[in-house]
Structure 1
């Protein structure tokens, strides 16, 4: 068969597997009756869901995309937990106007792991409506001059509506003469509610957010305000309006903070439109479009998406900006005699959720009311107050023309929540912040993927999966990391660093050498090569930072220079070597991780610097200078072994602080607290890669490294999960709450074993361990999608030390778990290439 370019590919055999799986579901026995059980037509997936928290999580929302499930969009799916069918709803998670997956809610006890089955079906069991979006305006009356127009609009020709009855609508754009108290829109704007609380948004110049306290879980907004404004300001059977908003942002509204520090509401607009975009039983959403918003910077459009889900008082807010702004500010009304609460942002990572909150007798019924805004630490510019609001300024993220801001707000009314003290309220919001930060652990296995898996691995199947994944990432985003491109993971312009410019292009080139595929090989020219100017300068790189994470792309530049003999690459290579000449070190000679991390050696730093340094010495140095560099490389491993290794387990800690001053460091040893799997993975890959360049005659140096290979192999074997062949995020705590089996480390360890056996560093006694690891990588972390593309799941996005990252077990649990991140992608491809070589040797 003619070889297809990989951008068109994703291997024909995998597409065939996908088609067979879908056909099997379609041809399953059809139901003869209308019972739910008999209406089921085929298993789509199984999902294990674990509560990562040491407390109960009631009505935890679980989202599964059609893409990951391996089914067509809007396939009718049932969710079975035990003998019960759990209600689910199709939703639009990415806000592109199309449903992209299903959401369901389930209770999770402390540390509980539940098993669910996803079934394609022709009929769903009835479910109870627990959320509602509501929007209505009057018809049958007439507009007349406003009897009491707002003072700031006395001469604006404002009108009010007299007579008529309310009619529910899906969308509304008020006329230009509409203002507050115009008696046209029921309770003055769109409303949204869960079974816990309701909110309304003033669809006028105020743009404030108000609260409807609820005393009943049933939807009520459609009956609120039918007789005008007054009734909901006093206690009703269903509840009441709780908040005096005035000129503030209310309960989680948004505005812009100008260069003078003044708040600019979204007041001056050409038009404002409210629409209901979701109104199911579990999930509801409203969309607010502000066209022609005039702020002090520019005139622009802004869209707000506000959603709620069953069982939660939280409203999720996503704001989309068509032009860049330096901030969007979210806030809470500042009432007298309220207690202001805020998270300790210094003690968390950038991906952790912090909060601002207020507590006190600020409800219109005189009872206590707590309000809170949740946000990611990494989005925060500043937390501040003005005369009317408690505020947090957030930085919009994304490319120009599509920047976004994301946060949540919530309120807890004493009469409904049962929370009576500020201490109880603070306890609640801290738990909610943890729930937003640490998502339930999801282990998904789909029928589509499992049907495509072979009972036993072979060189052919390993190559097939490796190429299919590599092709998928080429199609998704790999080539977009070029200079002036976009880093979709970090939502910023790409920098010259270890993953997107370093290890991932390196992995593609390695696969290209195995397959003689030019498209794979060209990644190093299209991505790392794009950062090198004609005069050899490296873009998005600053040597004076002395960041060892900047060194790995140098291996790709060496390859480019060997291929092209272009001097610009050689100049850039020498610049990276010069960084290592000047790089700060510990008293014994180990490289600091970064200049700003004084005295700190991180386990991943060995991989970042030493393979490049060893290859550079082998190719560009000779004699005494070369031998000094090889000694320097081996010394780095020896020092890492001396200072970071646990002598009892053979495992290595993430970091070591020679100065013993960091908050994460043991004051006696300087070591960090935990054994992070990917840290071990970087070390394992580094030692087998460096051995490629240390000459055979340097027998003593090689002996040091080979001893490490043997030790690492033995320690990894002891911590390999016996059931799946994979490894855990915190390696020596497999049964701890929140811990999960992590894919990038599993791929790195697979690469380590396969390459070490291929090179003769390990005996064939470790074959079974290598095979089990690779099988686990496929079975547990590989997803085949309906379009034939492949994904890698359950990757720890990032982990580090310092700057809010305290190195505790809880910290490693708090970092996001993602799919298809370059760090894991590269390891997956490298593991596959080495396994292909290993399996080919076995078959000879």
Structure 2
């Protein structure tokens, strides 16, 4: 069974949902599609198995507080089925049917996955079955969400005003040129969306205002709002009331362009249109297309998709632009007497945080309190500012895409938030819920069937080639110079993961299974960064980042393969830069200049195989020996400073100055044993040994001794059930901890290669096989198109700049799929397992 985090909270950043789960591109859906969406409510059901079982999932709450109606999403692609099966799907816990709905999350008019909701106690773990069993009864669920657009028909236009006629709900609308504010043509002036908590509307005119309908009831109400014109919903009614004065501001979570002094709203467009994409019981959404937005001396098209889940105040917004636009602004109306609240800014860049306002800012009464907030990933914001009308968050441009949430909490809603302290506590919990998504171990029936073949050398090679080929088709070749880093959402750079690690893994695979695509990838990706004069594009020598040395491994392969002078110049430059690299007093390479005096386990892998390989290829005599000594010394000092003799495990990093916030003030050590950190070190051990000749007897003995010691220690932490390892090695089963695939692949490679090379005795052969079988069973998803995905990869983890190195910090970093930091080790591990099983 594999583990993936496939939650609706993160749909916009994935299309293979971390299995690939790609960026949301928002287009539309017809009401016929919406009417096809199936719903279900908790009710007894028969057990399901055999031909009807689609998938199983073990889902656990990663937080120490309860979750109500927590949304979980699986794409049909990951489930291994077609959308034709959507109407048959049901989700069960035991014999209880869960509320579920087939949804169109990217708004392209086609259902793409299954959404279901479930309650979780703190740290609770539940087992789910997804089935198409026709015997399962799916009773109707009370409608908790709604999206709608309503326009008048039967009247006529008189200038900009529509006179007469009656309102009719439609699935999409393209306003005529004369339509503007107060035209009395669109009911409440634009599309609306609601949950059982709150409702919102967006003006489909030059104001692009975002407004709030405070609700006093849990029923859906939008269908009854504004039937008699604009005035009625400004007065208190049984259902609620319009509670916000928007004016010319960003209103409730709106967006525009920050020109350096003020926000320019999305006003000047050639046209705009709206389409309902989902109108279901537990999930609803709509899309707005802004065509020809004139701003910042350019013209672009932009699409915004808005979606809500049952039981939530939050609206998920996905913005997609045809052109990059710096200084996109999101924010809140700035009313007098309100307090500006900000969430944690000293956190991981991928963690969610917020900007909010609280105060007597409701239209419904002089003493009514209203809270409003926008929630975004910390690293997405460039600056916080304000203009005359709005609190403004200026956002970075990451390839024309932006995802965020907005929400409102009115004190008169059911169980409403009454005080500023309650509102802040609620927001703090919401960002934790979004950041620490439930942990999901998932296995589709399609994947399970594909894994039934006994493990042989050929089976291992087939799995290895399957991921390599899948990634070549998906995105590997896009990482060339001036290309695009899809996972980080930025232009590609001369970096360690794809340009170094994954391309190098393809070269290793080519040695056992020759394929021109693997060979060509080295030049198309890594080689593209090397200019004719040997200059390395995007490389920053004065940053002294040891990470940036890693692609040099591939550059050496290219130099040996082609003999081209530019590659030799490039590797010589990297070697000279290592000579200038700052070091600790004991000689360990700093991780980079912005992390002074710090040795990280990561850096041992990034620099030492390059140093040893360069020495083996291009140096001789005493110069070569000194380089080998320097490479081996890095392992020795890492062992001295980072290994805990009581556990045999290595801490992630060490600060010689003991000044870093994460560093122990007595030892300088970080506090946690991070799996991938030690995985980097383990891979580096067996890789550097490749380049140490037999004549370097003492150096080889040092490396083999460390290898054997580490192998004996690591096996004690191997998960007995699966053969894999946990994100924080010494805390298996702790709340939010999970079995992590990239580090597990690194340890698999370490054991298999060490056995193959004779560094470890044959008794470790079974450890390697168990680990590799665990990689396949736990972390591989098979798709119907023949591609596979590697799941449960910690996208990134580090120290400093908001990353405090605590256990909780490592639990807040994003869990991803198909990232090079896992793909590369998976491919390396598969190559070594192929060799091991062929013996």
Change beyond 3 A, Cα 1:686–1:82: same
Q: Is the Cα contact below 8 Å between 2:104 and 2:277 reproduced in 1?
A: no
Q: Distance in 2 between matches of 1:745 and 1:296?
A: 45
Q: Is the Cα contact below 8 Å between 2:53 and 2:133 reproduced in 1?
A: no
Tell me, yes or no, if structure 1 residue 408 matches structure 2 residue 422: no
Unaligned residue ranges in structure 1 (runs of 5+): 1-34, 146-158
Tell me, yes or no, if structure 1 residue 56 matches structure 2 residue 66: yes
Q: Secondary structure at the match of 2:297?
A: coil
- Greater shift, 686-695 or 231-240, is seen at 231-240
Q: Is the Cα contact below 8 Å between 2:61 and 2:439 reproduced in 1?
A: yes
Q: Secondary structure at the match of 1:184?
A: coil
Q: Secondary structure at the match of 1:75?
A: helix
Which residue, out of 441, 445, 449, partners 1:447? 445
1:127 to partner: Cα distance: 2.7
| Residues 686-701 of structure 1 mapped to structure 2, 5 A cutoff | 686-701=684-699
Correspondence for 2:121: 109
1:39 to partner: Cα distance: 9.7
Tell me, yes or no, if structure 1 residue 136 matches structure 2 residue 155: no
| Residues 742-757 of structure 1 mapped to structure 2, 5 A cutoff | 742-757=740-755
| Residues 122-161 of structure 1 mapped to structure 2, 5 A cutoff | 122=134, 125=138, 126-145=140-159, 159-161=160-162
Q: Distance in 2 between matches of 1:557 and 1:195?
A: 58
- Greater shift, 569-578 or 518-527, is seen at 518-527
1:108 to partner: Cα distance: 1.4
Q: Distance in 1 between matches of 2:603 and 2:566?
A: 26
Change beyond 3 A, Cα 1:517–1:273: closer
| Residues 185-584 of structure 1 mapped to structure 2, 5 A cutoff | 185-259=186-260, 261-345=261-345, 347-366=346-365, 367-398=368-399, 403-416=400-413, 417-454=415-452, 456-584=454-582
Which residue, out of 827, 830, 843, partners 2:828? 830
Q: Distance in 1 between matches of 2:650 and 2:104?
A: 43
1:239-263 residue CA offsets vs partner (Å, 9 max, x unmatched) = 111111122111111111114x121
| Residues 561-640 of structure 1 mapped to structure 2, 5 A cutoff | 561-640=559-638
Q: Distance in 2 between matches of 1:718 and 1:667?
A: 29
Q: Secondary structure at the match of 1:111?
A: coil
Q: Is the Cα contact below 8 Å between 2:66 and 2:122 reproduced in 1?
A: yes
Q: Distance in 2 between matches of 1:293 and 1:452?
A: 49
1:178 to partner: Cα distance: 2.4
1:724 to partner: Cα distance: 0.7
Change beyond 3 A, Cα 1:247–1:124: farther
Q: Distance in 2 between matches of 1:701 and 1:311?
A: 62
Q: Distance in 1 between matches of 2:543 and 2:238?
A: 63
Change beyond 3 A, Cα 1:840–1:326: same
1:83 to partner: Cα distance: 1.0
Query: 4+ residue runs of structure 1 moved beyond 6 angstroms?
Result: none
1:784-835 residue CA offsets vs partner (Å, 9 max, x unmatched) = 1111111100000000111111111111111110110011000000000101
Unaligned residue ranges in structure 2 (runs of 5+): 1-43
- Greater shift, 454-463 or 278-287, is seen at 454-463
Correspondence for 2:654: 656
Q: Distance in 2 between matches of 1:91 and 1:423?
A: 36
Q: Is the Cα contact below 8 Å between 1:371 and 1:410 reproduced in 2?
A: yes
Normalised by the size of structure 1, how large is the TM-score? 0.91
1:292 to partner: Cα distance: 2.2
Q: Is the Cα contact below 8 Å between 2:256 and 2:264 reproduced in 1?
A: yes
Query: Larger RCO: Structure 1 or Structure 2 (Cα < 8 Å, ≥ 6 residues apart)?
Result: 2
Q: Distance in 1 between matches of 2:105 and 2:464?
A: 29
Q: Is the Cα contact below 8 Å between 1:74 and 1:100 reproduced in 2?
A: no
Q: Is the Cα contact below 8 Å between 1:74 and 1:99 reproduced in 2?
A: no
1:145-165 residue CA offsets vs partner (Å, 9 max, x unmatched) = 5xxxxxxxxxxxxx2222221
Change beyond 3 A, Cα 1:622–1:732: same
1:192 to partner: Cα distance: 0.4
Q: Distance in 1 between matches of 2:553 and 2:162?
A: 71
Q: Distance in 2 between matches of 1:496 and 1:263?
A: 36
Normalised by the size of structure 2, how large is the TM-score? 0.92
Q: Is the Cα contact below 8 Å between 1:344 and 1:354 reproduced in 2?
A: yes
Q: Secondary structure at the match of 1:550?
A: helix
Q: Distance in 1 between matches of 2:294 and 2:450?
A: 55
1:712 to partner: Cα distance: 1.1
Q: Is the Cα contact below 8 Å between 2:362 and 2:370 reproduced in 1?
A: yes
- Greater shift, 481-490 or 729-738, is seen at 481-490
Q: Distance in 2 between matches of 1:591 and 1:96?
A: 50
1:556-592 residue CA offsets vs partner (Å, 9 max, x unmatched) = 1212222221111111110111111110000110000
Tell me, yes or no, if structure 1 residue 89 matches structure 2 residue 101: yes
Q: Is the Cα contact below 8 Å between 2:532 and 2:566 reproduced in 1?
A: yes
Q: Secondary structure at the match of 2:412?
A: helix
1:54 to partner: Cα distance: 1.1
Q: Distance in 2 between matches of 1:495 and 1:706?
A: 34
Correspondence for 2:9: none
What is the count of residue pairs matched by the alignment? 788
Q: Is the Cα contact below 8 Å between 2:47 and 2:94 reproduced in 1?
A: no
Correspondence for 2:175: 174
Q: Could you say what the CA RMSD is over the residues aligned between the two structures, in angstroms? A: 1.6
Q: Is the Cα contact below 8 Å between 1:513 and 1:521 reproduced in 2?
A: no
Q: Distance in 1 between matches of 2:418 and 2:594?
A: 46
- Greater shift, 161-170 or 806-815, is seen at 161-170
